[in-house]
Chain A
Amino acid sequence: MIPLDATTLPVIFAALMGAAILLYVILDGFDLGVGLLLPLATPDERDRMIGSIGPFWDANETWLVLAVGLLLVAFPAAHGAILTALYLPVAVMLVGLILRGVAFEFRAKAPVAQKPIWDRTFFAGSLMTAMSQGFMLGLYIMGLDWTPGNLAFALLTAAALTVGYSFIGATWIILKAEGALQRKAVDWARGGIWGMILGLGAVSVATPLVSDRIFARWFTFPEALLLAPLPAMSLLLIGLLWVALRHLPTRGDQFAWFPFAAASTLMTLGFAGMAYSFYPYVVPERLTIYEAAASPESLTIILIGTAFVLPVILAYTVLAYVIFRGKATVLRYD
């Protein structure tokens, strides 16, 4: 039995927070991607695209609330330091999330003549959210300082994450759509895979250069050898995706699941690499998870609840995906 104290609890909570962020990036990533692809589709296709994420988006967004909630409760000192440094991009993201979330409902309930306005709002909200998250990712990697060089890098990651989200969004539509829309989604994915490669590449090249500590982590023997599977698997998956996208959609709709699964795995690998680089820091090179952690008593209280509730959450989340499995239809309340 691992003792729950000031050395183990911060690690457990960092892992929980990392899992929540990763789940958010994959799950809301495809929601946002679908929103980003909306202008490329016909009005009828838009209804089906939104139908494919309708039952899930709200729960998917909740992982962001959990992630920031865990940052807030487990690492209060880091919460303030990170969020005040990211004040403006956070505000842009929040407005984006507001617009995207409400457009979902308004487009279906407002007078028909207003529907195109809400579709544009949906796209704009998704774009603001994706760009600001990518921007924050870049600035975080560079250490949260607003210098011109860091901003340039943050703009690059903003673009890369936006294209990356639209890529995973396209793979989700390949999985959930059929016919002409599915073929279109394969085209979109072919166009978007570049963003994924560029994004992963930029982060992989930049992260070790930010600090000697991270550089040493990646390029000293024997750790470098143990880590080799990470980039190797990423390259393999990208290669397989490339081939798959040339042959999809297949007769009988086999392998429609593969691009989405591969894109999710790629995001997981990229995230694992970042987590390895930054551990044990929660504010890069400034504040470790041990220094920023809340008191062990409070963390224990949260952990007990989490241990019971998180499996239940995962179970009913899976239930929802099972209930709404198969090809998406236009949403109806009856």
Chain B
Amino acid sequence: MMDTFLLSRIQFAANISFHILFPTITIALGWVLLFFRWRFARTGDGVWMDAYMFWVKVFALTFALGVVSGITMSFQFGTNWPGFMEAVGNVAGPLLAYEILTAFFLEAVFLGIMLFGARRVPGWLHVTATALVAIGTTMSAFWILVLNSWMHTPQGFELRDGVVHATDWWAIIFNPSMPYRLGHVLLASGLTVAFLIAGVAAFRRLIGDRQAGSALQLRLGLTLGAVLIPLQILMGDLHGLNTLEHQPAKVAAMEGNWETGPNVPLLLFALPDEEARTNRAELAIPNGASLILKHDPDGVVPGLNDYLAEDGTPLHPPVAPVFWAFRVMVGLGMAMLVLSWAGVWLIRRRGGADALPRPLLWATATMTFSGWGATLAGWYVTEIGRQPWLVTGVLTTEAAVADVPPAMVLSTLVAYLAVYSVLLAAYVGVLIHLARKATAGDPSLQAVPPSGLARAVPAE
């Protein structure tokens, strides 16, 4: 029988992994919708309204999933991790309160106007509501990432009787890892949406959609991806250097490096073995890690063996999950780079997205949810990489867990997992259904040839 601590960790990981899938779409999709809405207002071209009408449905569905899975998170603090708020509530509390007050209500109220108010409010107010929803989702990301970053790199507080008291709010909000983490997550959201839009559009092209709308969305998604991925690689590098400075044990686990020293290779493949404290089956690029982290082949990279207690208990995070999650994230990022640049290059060469070869369409459709994969892998790197700490140097994860019978945690965990699996399947099913419906609205697929003036009718 597993213990309450491990089960609670699995439960929190399951809940937050399910949750992050949806905000990571809505944060950037809100801005993309605003762009569609603005282009339609400027050009009057129906193709932009079609794009808006298609993606606003996805947005509404995604938003609802994000809201309900987020509520679960706010209760989990109390049900499973009461020690967290008791120890650091004086810092975490105000940050969470500001998120609710400045973001949740804003997005929730104006979402109603954005979705259902088009006929009831003037155009400018509808555009404003769309903008406020986008601002709300981004504000929400800001506050929660401030708190998350503070848990990684805490400052601006003092400990009195084991309880954290805030002393400098400026230092708390602008803690050392916050700007990098926020940038990294916002870019990840942009990339997730870029490949989601491109992937769904590619799927529509593959099943016979010949409308200008799907070609436009395909081009738009791939272009957005091609622009954002180099920025993300740069931001990831900066974030990694920041982590090296503040959480060296995490970087040591990411690199699978056991001994501190110069000329550390970049491991492309390895099986980290924590028992033997070494790697098996290494495939490495000499000096690679030193070059990336210190921009110098002789640069000294921290090793995991520096983080051992006197009795040999590891004070560093579990190595294999961090090591592998990091490689999944970087691998997906590389795949995004290759695909989006190849796509944009082919679009320019062939004079349009409607002339893209089928293998590239297949590859793009396969990558529809690549942003989810990379986002989750990235979160696993940073969150597992913080262990055994919940708040670095202040509170261990084990000290915060609730004293609840394991059977209770297990039964609720099973219930959540069952609900999440069904909802995830239903979500992807609805996306496919909406894509098919939009394709079926293609006049060129209908039996009676439409007149030359007919415009693609948005499928409802």
Interface members, chain B 67-86 (any A CB < 8 Å)? 67-72, 74-75, 77-79, 82-83, 85-86
Q: Give the contact stretch, choosing among B116-124, B202-210, B258-266.
A: B116-124
Interface members, chain B 91-132 (any A CB < 8 Å)? 91-94, 96-98, 100-102, 104-106, 108-113, 115-121
Residues of A within 8 A of B65 (CB): 101-102, 105
Determine the main DSSP class of A at the interface with B.
Answer: helix
Contact A316 B77 (CB under 8 A): no
Asked if B38 is an interface residue, CB under 8 A from chain A, the answer is no
Complex formed: what's the CA distance from A310 to B79 in Å? 27
Residues of A within 8 A of B1 (CB): none
Complex formed: what's the CA distance from A56 to B93 in Å? 27
Q: Which one of B117, B402, B426 has the greatest number of beta carbons of chain A within 10 Å? A: B426
Complex formed: what's the CA distance from A317 to B105 in Å? 8
Contact A110 B433 (CB under 8 A): yes
Residues of B within 8 A of A106 (CB): 61, 426, 430
Shortest CB distance A272–B (Å): 24
Asked if B456 is an interface residue, CB under 8 A from chain A, the answer is no
Complex formed: what's the CA distance from A23 to B73 in Å? 21
Residues of B within 8 A of A305 (CB): 94, 97-98, 101-102
Residues of A within 8 A of B412 (CB): 87-88, 91
Q: Give the contact stretch, choosing among B212-220, B246-254, B415-423, B445-453.
A: B415-423
Complex formed: what's the CA distance from A150 to B415 in Å? 26
- The contact string, 1 if C-beta is below 8 Å from chain B, for chain A 80-93, is 11111011101100
Asked if A187 is an interface residue, CB under 8 A from chain B, the answer is no
Nearest first, the 8 A-B pairs at minimum CB distance are: A80-B82, A73-B93, A83-B78, A55-B112, A76-B89, A101-B68, A76-B85, A59-B108
User: Which among B69, B85, B102, B121 is the interface contact of A80 at CB below 8 angstroms?
Assistant: B85
- Bin the interface of chain B by size: 35 or more
Asked if B454 is an interface residue, CB under 8 A from chain A, the answer is no
Asked if B408 is an interface residue, CB under 8 A from chain A, the answer is yes
Residues of A within 8 A of B113 (CB): 55, 320, 323
Complex formed: what's the CA distance from A98 to B403 in Å? 26
Residues of B within 8 A of A203 (CB): none
Nearest opposing residue in chain A for B109, CB measure: A59
Number of cross-chain contacts by CB at 8 Å: 217
Residues of B within 8 A of A99 (CB): 419
Asked if B60 is an interface residue, CB under 8 A from chain A, the answer is yes
Known contacts A91-B412, A104-B64: A61-B102 contact under CB 8 Å:
no
Residues of B within 8 A of A73 (CB): 85, 89, 92-94, 96-97
User: Which among A82, A109, A294, A301 is the interface contact of B78 at CB below 8 angstroms?
Assistant: A82
Shortest CB distance A168–B (Å): 20
- Bin the interface of chain A by size: 35 or more
- The contact string, 1 if C-beta is below 8 Å from chain A, for chain B 51-73, is 00100110011011101111110
Q: Which one of B56, B96, B169 has the greatest number of beta carbons of chain A within 10 Å? A: B96
Complex formed: what's the CA distance from A55 to B110 in Å? 9
Nearest opposing residue in chain A for B64, CB measure: A105
Residues of B within 8 A of A65 (CB): 70-71, 74, 100, 104
Residues of B within 8 A of A297 (CB): 90, 165-166
Asked if A8 is an interface residue, CB under 8 A from chain B, the answer is no
- The contact string, 1 if C-beta is below 8 Å from chain B, for chain A 310-328, is 1001001101100110000
Known contacts A320-B112, A332-B119: A58-B430 contact under CB 8 Å:
no
Complex formed: what's the CA distance from A58 to B434 in Å? 23
